[in-house]
C-alpha cells in the first residue's frame, strides 16, 4: 500500500484511510493517546459530566482499551461523532476505534469495511410517546409524526416496520439526540424512536420522566458494539479481547476492587491467572504488556460494574440487565475462553 499524505479536498472526502490503515497500535503508542469516537452526548452511554469529563458505558470501553494499551485510562481523546459522521471518521483514521451505540449489521461490517469486535449491549428499537397521547402499542401509530436520527439503522427499521404493517408516517429527520429531544418535548413529533436503551437514557434527562412511556414493541435487533476499521487485524484483536476481558472478568468475579490483589497474589483458577497475566503469555501475543487486562479492569471495573455504574437500575437511566446479563444468569454476555 502506498503511504501518502493526501491533500486538500481528497482528505475532506475521508480518504486518507490508506495512510492510517496499518499499525494503529504503533500510531496510538506514538501519540500517547487513544482517539475514541463516541456519541455527541447520550447520558449513561457517553456524555461529559459537570466537570467536562466524559462518562458512560461506551466511554468505559474506550478507557479500558486506553488502559490496556497505554496503561493510562485517561489517555483518551474523545471525538464526538454523529450518526452520519462516525464511519467516515473511522475510515479516515481520525479515530482509532468507535464506541458509539453502533449496530452490527452485515453491510456495515462487509460493505462499509468496518470490523465489529464484539457486542457490549444487546438492544432493540423502540418508541417513546407522551402518556397523554393515549397510545399503548406501536401498531396504533399510523399517521404519526416520528422523530428519527438520520444515518442510523433505526431509520431503515422504521421504514420497514411501517411498510410491513401497512401504516403511514411522517418522518422528521434530526441530526443528534439533543435535537430529537427538543423536537419531541415541543410536540413537533408524536413519537421518538431509537434504540430502547437510548430512549431510556433520554427519558432520564426529562423534567418529568413519568409523563412518557416506552411502547412494548421492540421492532428490531440492535446488537451494539465497538468497532475498528478493516485492514488492521492486530488492532482489532486488542479491542476485541479488551472487551472480552471485561466480560470474562465479571464472570470470574474479578472487579476493580480486587483485581490488583488477585494479580499480585495469583489465584487458584488458571483462566483468571491467564487473564491477569500471572500465567501464560497472552499479553505478549497481543503485543501488549502482561498486565494489560489488569489495567483494563482497574480502569472502570468489569462489564457488570460498568453497567451498574452508568446505565443500571440504580441510575437515572434505569436499564435492567435483561439480555445483557452473563450467560450463567440467562443472558447473552459470553466471552470466548482466554487460552
H-state helical runs in 205-290: 233-251, 259-265, 270-275, 282-286
The smaller minimum CB distance to another protein, of residues 121 and 169, is found at 169
Instruction: Give 282's contacts (C-beta < 8 A, 6+ positions apart).
Output: 241, 274, 275, 293, 338
Half-sphere exposure of 99 (CA within 13 A, CB side): 32
Query: Cβ–Cβ contacts within 10 Å for residue 27, how many?
Result: 17
- Binding region for another protein (CB under 8 A) out of 38-46, 138-146, 211-219, 235-243: 138-146
* Residue 332 binding another protein, by CB under 8 A: no
Q: Is 333 helix (H, G, I), strand (E, B) or coil?
A: strand
Minimum CB separation of residue 209 from another protein in Å reads 20
Report how many residues bind another protein under the rule CB under 8 A. 56
Minimum CB separation of residue 190 from another protein in Å reads 5
The smaller minimum CB distance to another protein, of residues 111 and 268, is found at 111
Q: Write each residue from 18 to 37 as x if it is in contact with another protein (CB under 8 A), else as -, in one continuous string.
A: xx-x----------------
Sheet holding 125-130, edge to edge: 169-174, 144-149, 191-195, 125-130, 212-214
Contact pick of 58, 115, 155, 195 for another protein (by CB under 8 A): 155
Q: Can you point out the beta strands (E) in 49-124?
A: 54-55, 76-80, 97-98, 114-116, 121-123
Minimum CB separation of residue 25 from another protein in Å reads 19
Q: Is 257 helix (H, G, I), strand (E, B) or coil?
A: coil
Contact pick of 230, 280, 290, 331 for another protein (by CB under 8 A): 230
* Residue 116 binding another protein, by CB under 8 A: no
What cell does 123 get?
A: 438492544
Residue 213 and residue 128 in contact, taking contact as beta carbons nearer than 8 Å: yes
Q: Write each residue from 159 to 188 as x if it is in contact with another protein (CB under 8 A), else as -, in one continuous string.
A: xx--x-----xxxxxxx---x--xx--xxx
* Residue 13 binding another protein, by CB under 8 A: yes
DSSP states of 25-51: HHHHHHHTSEEEEE-S-BTTTBEE-TT
Q: Which residues of the shown chain bind another protein in the complex (CB under 8 A)?
A: 1-2, 4, 6-7, 10, 12-15, 17-19, 21, 83-84, 87-88, 91, 107-108, 111-113, 132-133, 141-145, 150-151, 155-156, 158-160, 163, 169-175, 179, 182-183, 186-190, 230-231
Amino acid at each position: 500500500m502506498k503511504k501518502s499524505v493526501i491533500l486538500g479536498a481528497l482528505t475532506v472526502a475521508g480518504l486518507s484511510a490508506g495512510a492510517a490503515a496499518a499499525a494503529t497500535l504503533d500510531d496510538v503508542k506514538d501519540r500517547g493517546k487513544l482517539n475514541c469516537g463516541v456519541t455527541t452526548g447520550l447520558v449513561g452511554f457517553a456524555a461529559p459530566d459537570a466537570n467536562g469529563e466524559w462518562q458512560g458505558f461506551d466511554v468505559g470501553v474506550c478507557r479500558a482499551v486506553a488502559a490496556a494499551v497505554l496503561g493510562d485510562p485517561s489517555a483518551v481523546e474523545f471525538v464526538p461523532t454523529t450518526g452520519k459522521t462516525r464511519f467516515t471518521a473511522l475510515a479516515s483514521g481520525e479515530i482509532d476505534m468507535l464506541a458509539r451505540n453502533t449496530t452490527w449489521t452485515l453491510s456495515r461490517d462487509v460493505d462499509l469495511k468496518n470490523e465489529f469486535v464484539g457486542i457490549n449491549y444487546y438492544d432493540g428499537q423502540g418508541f417513546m410517546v407522551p402518556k397523554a397521547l393515549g397510545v399503548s402499542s406501536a401498531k396504533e401509530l399510523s399517521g404519526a409524526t416520528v422523530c428519527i436520527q438520520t444515518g442510523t439503522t433505526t431509520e431503515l427499521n422504521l421504514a420497514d416496520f411501517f411498510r410491513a404493517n401497512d401504516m403511514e408516517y411522517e418522518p422528521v429527520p434530526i441530526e443528534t439526540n439533543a435535537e430529537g429531544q427538543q423536537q419531541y418535548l415541543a410536540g413537533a413529533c408524536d413519537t421518538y424512536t431509537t434504540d430502547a436503551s437510548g430512549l431510556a437514557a433520554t427519558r432520564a434527562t426529562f423534567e418529568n420522566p413519568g409523563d412518557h412511556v416506552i411502547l412494548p414493541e421492540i421492532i428490531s435487533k440492535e446488537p451494539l458494539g465497538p468497532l475498528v476499521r478493516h485492514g488492521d487485524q492486530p488492532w482489532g484483536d486488542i479491542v476485541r479481547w479488551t472487551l472480552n476481558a471485561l466480560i470474562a472478568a465479571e464472570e470470574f468475579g474479578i472487579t476493580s476492587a480486587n483485581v490488583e490483589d488477585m494479580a499480585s497474589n495469583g489465584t487458584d483458577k488458571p483462566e483468571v491467572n491467564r487473564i491477569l497475566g500471572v500465567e501464560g503469555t497472552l499479553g505478549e501475543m497481543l503485543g501488549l504488556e502482561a498486565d494489560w487486562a489488569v489495567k483494563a479492569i482497574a480502569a472502570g471495573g468489569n462489564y457488570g460494574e460498568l453497567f451498574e455504574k452508568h446505565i443500571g437500575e440504580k441510575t437515572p437511566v434505569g436499564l435492567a440487565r435483561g439480555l445483557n446479563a452473563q450467560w450463567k444468569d440467562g443472558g447473552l454476555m459470553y466471552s470466548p475462553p482466554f487460552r
